[in-house]
Amino acid sequence: MAAVKRFYPLIACVSIVFSVVAIVVGQFVPDPYLDPMNVTISEYAVSDRGGVTEVAMAVLGVGSLALLGGLRAAGAPVRGLPERLLMVWSGALVVAAVVPTTPIGADLTLTAQIHRYVSVAAFVSLPAAATLLVPRLAADAAWKPVARVMEWTALACGFGLLAITYVALPGERVLIGLVERLLLGAEVAVLAVLAAWLVRLTWTKAVNFPTYHRFIAS
């Protein structure tokens, strides 16, 4: 079982890379007349006949669960509220991928409302988890080297949340596509920082332990 848990961070890294590439590709698949600066990723996904964007969202959600499993197995300081927020983020992404929104200009259906609420939950939960993790990582010797980077990404997420809240309400959706993509980029950066450092901690320990064990035995 311990050997299986070592693959959690690798699964998370592969999922993050795949999702980023797929979402970028998905921007070119739908109607070329859609303006990515003013159209959200969800609205792009509705026009994506191949389902690339939905697959990317689902894979990122599953990969985030793998990341959480790896963090817990490695003893990272995620227990409690940060752990629950990461679970909300992961589950919300999967639900948003399965339950689509309505096409641009169409009436808001029940499924579209569900999609909207889980999307909001996803966008809010990960920045909150990152913010809570900053002091915990700084206090943990193994994770202290990435505490400052996590602080920067959490701050970027916070500014992104403020920006998308403004453009979605009083800003009348001006450049909402651009703001949402910037926010998503900051949130993916949070996952990437955690996953990359987890790979280093997990696999460095796995490689060094046999060498150390042979040294002691001799």
What is residue 117's predicted lDDT score, i.e. its pLDDT? 92
The tens-digit pLDDT sequence of the chain (218 residues) is 555 577 899 999 999 999 999 888 777 755 666 777 888 888 777 766 557 888 899 999 999 999 999 999 999 999 999 999 999 999 999 998 888 787 777 777 888 889 889 999 999 999 999 999 999 999 999 999 999 999 999 999 999 999 999 998 888 888 898 999 999 999 999 999 999 999 999 877 655 544 433 433 44
Number of helical H runs and strand E runs in the chain: 8, 0
Rounded (10°) angle between helices 110-139 and 147-168: 150
47 found inside a domain: yes
* Overall number of domains in the chain: 1
145 found inside a domain: yes
Domain range for 79 is 2-205
Cα–Cα distances (Å) from 107 to 102, 104, 113, in that order, read: 7, 9, 11
80 found inside a domain: yes
What is residue 149's predicted lDDT score, i.e. its pLDDT? 97
What is residue 217's predicted lDDT score, i.e. its pLDDT? 41
What is residue 50's predicted lDDT score, i.e. its pLDDT? 53
The answer to whether the Cα torsion of 119, 111, 94, 31 is positive or negative is negative
37 found inside a domain: yes
212 found inside a domain: no
15 found inside a domain: yes
What is residue 108's predicted lDDT score, i.e. its pLDDT? 78
147 found inside a domain: yes
